[in-house]
Amino acid sequence: MIPTGSLFIFLAACMFLAEAQAVLAADVGVKPSSGDAKRGEELYRASCSVCHGAQAGGNIGPRLAGNPILSNDEAFWKIVYEGRHVMPPLKGVVTEQQMADIRAWLRTLR
């Protein structure tokens, strides 16, 4: 059984993510080889900070600043596309370029 507080947080995060879609413009393409950290910071704040913290230090979701997953292409994209634990799958919600931008910004953090 999921505690009521955890369920509320999860539902709030899902609603926040749905609202963030309006901020994240849709475009389709192949996985970009690099991202724009400046743009990524804005995107992160609009869509990821509610669960991962304002500076990616962790909150509901794990700490992303300095996380080794950022260096593992296969694992990173698998989590982004399929989700993990309470993180919903983001395939179709954010574009690959947007995720590359977010990842570029996360890589600037320690």
Residue 94: phi, psi to the nearest 5?
Answer: -120, 150
Span 1-37, pLDDT tens digits = 555 555 545 545 554 444 444 444 444 345 666 899 9
Q: Residue 63 above 60 pLDDT?
A: yes
The predicted model scores a pTM of 0.70
CATH of domain 4-106: 1.10.760
Q: Which residues contact 108 (CB under 8 A, 6 or more apart)?
A: 37
| Contact partners, residue 41, CB within 8 Å, separation at least 6 | 105
Q: Where are the domains of the chain?
A: 4-106
What are the start-end ranges of the H helices in the chain? 4-20, 37-47, 49-52, 73-82, 96-106
